């Protein structure tokens, strides 16, 4: 496993000998299926070749010692004193909540979590919508799994990481982010049914590339309207179940049925639910588009998704809209949309790989001209999921 050069001197400073293991957990982009994972829908993410990397050695003192290189911060916590925060309680520092939450979730599952000293860093931009927090969670969970010798597959690992995010960190996220980081397949998107938890890789068309554009606008999910959007979806299900008894989630209502009954919903709730219902349909259509190599159709669905996120779900911002509209007129573009929860972060672009250089230059120049801001633009590949490697004989 290749690790960033920045970790190497940290090994020498912190560990008396080489660390026991290193781990890599990738970030992710979601090509289609935004805000449907917590509505039991089908999503289409891909792990990317930007990741969280950590080096760890077990300790016998029951302590978790964290060295966050990117923040230049350190903290030590007692693993036998982890308690789930009370509603409204904010733990400080916030960055440590993710590894502590993973330790807590593993303990709740009856697993003995060893003390550990960890150095970690990431080239997943924090707060960008590329799931840096999920990558941190998955990397730590995989490290404890390796040190403990547990028989646990990557999907089980992802579900425990989701529990950490939901119940310890306090963000009501679905499973998609942790799943993609844990289960990524190189060169493929992942068609993931968040209800049945069945999934399979879908090969991305030859000659295409993924470009991620970071708007530079940051958001914090726990402090954003993310949880309000989820509550609106739950309210829609409760109201629609009057007309369709047995309705469990927005996954269970077709676009035709929604058109018939949605007039009974409050306007804001209707708009939120309309995005989800139509986005689930888009993912179903996208599977066929990829299977037949119809990349133009797939790209059109990405543009349609962004419009829906902007107008119905209202999670876009002007900077993200600008990136999508600029991309629409550049050479090699198939489709573009915001990726992640929104409120800031990144767009994902599917392009003709042979046009990558011109596309990236055009997107950067257009964004600066339009907003006065500079976008960081990354040429990415669909990556394999989490991996660990022992570094001791």
Helix 132-148 × helix 176-183 angle, to 10°: 50
Greatest alpha-carbon pair distance for the chain in Å reads 67
Sign of CA dihedral 47, 52, 55, 59: negative
Closest CA to 314 of 348, 346, 273: 273
CB proximity list for 334: less than 8 A, separation 6 or greater: 208, 295, 296, 298, 299, 302, 350, 351, 352
Yes or no: say if 272 and 234 are a contact pair by the CB < 8 Å rule.
Answer: no
Indicate if 177 belongs to the active site.
Answer: yes
Query: What is the radius of gyration, based on Cα positions, of the chain?
Result: 21
Q: What are the structure tokens assigned to 190, written together?
A: 């992942």
Pairing of strands 115-122, 63-68: parallel
**Exposure pattern of 353-385 as b/e (b: 16+ CB <10 Å)?**
beebeebbebbbebbeeebeeebebbbbebbeb
End-to-end CA distance of the chain: 16
- Catalytic pick from 61, 80, 123, 177? 177
Number of CB atoms found within 10 A of residue 160's CB? 23
Q: Are 374 and 178 in contact (CB under 8 A)?
A: no
Q: Facing residues of 346 across strands?
A: 214, 339
229, 272 in Cβ contact below 8 A? yes
Strand partners, 73: 68
Tokens for 280?
């689930």
Do 103 and 137 meet the contact criterion of CB atoms below 8 Å apart?
no
CA-to-CA dists, residue 260 to 170, 253, 269, 270, angstroms: 35, 11, 15, 12
Task: Give me the active site residues, please.
Answer: 177
């Amino acid at each position: 496993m290749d690790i960033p050069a920045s970790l190497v001197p940290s090994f020498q400073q912190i560990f008396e000998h080489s660390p026991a293991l290193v781990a890599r957990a990738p970030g992710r982009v979601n090509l289609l299926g935004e805000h449907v994972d917590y509505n039991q829908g089908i999503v289409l993410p891909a792990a990317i070749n930007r990741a969280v990397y950590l080096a760890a050695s077990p300790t016998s003192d029951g302590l978790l010692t964290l060295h966050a290189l990117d923040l230049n911060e350190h903290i030590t916590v007692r693993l036998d004193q982890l308690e789930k925060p009370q509603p409204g309680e904010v733990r400080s520092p916030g960055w440590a909540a993710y590894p502590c939450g993973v330790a807590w979730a593993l303990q709740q599952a009856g697993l003995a979590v060893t003390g550990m000293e960890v150095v970690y860093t990431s080239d997943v931009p924090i707060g960008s919508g590329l799931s840096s927090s999920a990558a941190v969670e998955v990397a730590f969970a995989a490290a404890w799994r390796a040190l403990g010798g547990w028989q646990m597959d990557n999907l089980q690992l992802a579900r425990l990481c989701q529990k950490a995010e939901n119940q310890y960190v306090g963000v009501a996220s679905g499973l998609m982010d942790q799943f993609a980081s844990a289960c990524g397949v190189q060169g493929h998107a992942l068609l993931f049914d968040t209800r049945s938890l069945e999934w399979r890789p879908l090969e991305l068309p030859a000659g295409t590339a993924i470009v991620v554009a970071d708007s530079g606008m940051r958001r914090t999910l726990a402090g954003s309207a993310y949880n309000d959007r989820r509550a609106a979806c739950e309210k829609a299900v409760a109201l629609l179940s009057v007309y369709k008894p047995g309705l469990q989630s927005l996954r269970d209502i077709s676009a035709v049925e929604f058109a018939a009954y949605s007039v009974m919903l409050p306007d804001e709730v209707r708009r939120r639910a309309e995005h989800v219902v139509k986005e689930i349909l888009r993912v179903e259509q996208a599977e066929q588009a990829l299977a037949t190599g119809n990349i133009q159709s797939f790209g059109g669905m990405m543009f349609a998704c962004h419009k829906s996120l902007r107008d119905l779900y209202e999670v876009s911002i002007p900077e993200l809209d600008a990136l999508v509209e600029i991309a629409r007129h550049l050479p090699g573009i198939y489709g573009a949309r915001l990726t992640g929860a929104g409120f800031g972060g990144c767009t994902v672009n599917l392009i003709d790989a042979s046009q990558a250089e011109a596309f990236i230059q055009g997107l950067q120049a257009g964004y600066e001209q339009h907003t006065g801001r500079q976008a960081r633009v990354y040429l990415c590949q669909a990556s394999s999921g989490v991996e660990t490697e022992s570094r001791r004989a």
